[in-house]
Structures are given as C-alpha cells and as structure tokens.
Amino acid sequence: MVKFIKDLEENDLFTETCPVFSFPSLKPKKVFSETARFCDKNIFSIKRNFLSLFGFPSYGVHCNIWSKHKDKFIIYFAKRAKKLKDFPGYADNTVAGGQPINLSIFENLKKEAYEEAGITDKYLKKIQRGNVVSYFHNNYNEFISAVIFNYHLNKVDELKLKNIDGEVDSFFSLPLEDIYKLLEKNQLKPNCIIPILDFILLNDYQFLSKGTIVEIKKLLRLNE
C-alpha cells in the first residue's frame, strides 16, 4: 500500500483534487452550472487518482476542434506525448482534461484549451456546447465511472494549434469518415470516441442512418 501511494504521488494526477457527490456511481450527477465553482454541494473531496480506486465518478471536459472542407467535416486530434503514463502516443481529443474542484467547468475548459492546444479565450466565444455524457467500464481491477462535458469548436484558419504543457507531441487531422482507421489500429484513446459521437449527433445526422443515431443515443445514455 505504501508503494501504491508513493506511485500515485509521483503522478501529476495526484495533485488534482476532485469532488465526490451524493449520487450512485452508475447514475452520477450530470447537471451543473457551467460557471459556478465545481465543488458546490459535494460531500467531500479526494485526489483524482483515488477516484477509480473507490469507484467514485470522475469528471472531465473534452473539446473537438473541427473544420469543414467542401462537404467534408475534418476532426483535429492531439497525439499524446510518449512520456505520459496512460495511453502514450495515442490520438486524443484536441482538448481534454479532468475537472478539479474550485474551477468552474468553463474555466477549466479555458485552462485546458490553452495548456494543451494554445487556444486563447477569444477563439472560445463561438464554442458549441454539447451533451453531458456518463459512461463506465472496467480497467483491469478498477471500476471506472466518468462524466464528460462535451464541447465543439470550429477552427478558423488563423488558429494555430500549439501545445504548452508538454503533454502533446503533435497535432493531426482526419476526415470524419476516416476516424474508423484509428479505431481499427487501436490508436484512439478509448473515451475520446464519445465527444466525436456527440459531434455527429449535433452536426451531421446525414452521416449515419436514423437507426444508428438511435443506437448511439442509447449508448451515450442521452435519454436518461
């Protein structure tokens, strides 16, 4: 146990304090003010790496950066730095990060957008708010319950993506219909498909059949 705690302390995630709310892990709290401090009405706080150890839900912000060329949607990805402990070298949403206490959801989004992709406040004025999605799965011997606050930003030509915090090695883009190639090669960080599906639901219904859209909504638990 001492070694386990020492390993956690050496991980950057240990420094983030996150709230725990009085809701079941399988039905976590999903309705929040976007601008209020993210610790309102929590029952206690805990270091981020302990959340999955005890089965508590974690929260995070994810933002797709996209553009459109002729009739094709283009999605931008961040390639995670090889030095990272979790999913090194995998493709990630351009902006993604855990939600700590004290910062509001939108303040955290602005912080992560700048640190991970060099996106300043002026580019976030026309950001599209997506759905709040909960999901859960097993990761080895841990139960993972999580909630993602999804956002989508149309990239203007003058916006140049640049990593600031050293957690991203590079950026690249793919047409929306080619993202399956990352999945086939197991190169996409697993939870990053959720914001992409959310983007499809909000912007490109013609990309998939109506039956598929219904099934995606079920998977994303949007009707609960």
33-91 pLDDT, tens digit each: 999 999 888 999 999 888 988 889 999 999 999 999 988 899 999 999 999 988 999 99
Residue 216 has pLDDT above 60, yes or no: yes
Neighbours of 57 (CB within 10 A): 25
- pLDDT of the residue at 197: 92
- pLDDT of the residue at 204: 63
CATH architecture, domain 2-219: Alpha-Beta Complex (3.90)
Between CA 117 and CA 95 the distance in angstroms is 7
Instruction: Say which residue, 117 or 25, is predicted with more confidence.
Output: 117
Residue 205 has pLDDT above 80, yes or no: no
Q: How far is CA 3 from CA 6, 7, 8, 30, 203, in A?
A: 5, 6, 9, 34, 47
pTM over 0.85: yes
What is the separation of C-alpha 118 from the centre of its chain, rounded to a whole number of angstroms? 17
Helix (H) or strand (E) holding 215, with range, is helix 210-219
CA atoms within 13 A on the CB side of 22: 4
Work out the average pLDDT over 133-144.
81
Q: What phi and psi values does residue 178 have, to the nearest 5 degrees?
A: -100, 0
Tokens of 110: 């602005």
Residue 4 has pLDDT above 50, yes or no: no
Tokens of 56: 């508590």
Between CA 147 and CA 133 the distance in angstroms is 6
Between CA 79 and CA 88 the distance in angstroms is 8
Tokens of 83: 């030095």
- pLDDT of the residue at 73: 92
- pLDDT of the residue at 86: 86
**Mean pLDDT, rounded, of the chain:** 88
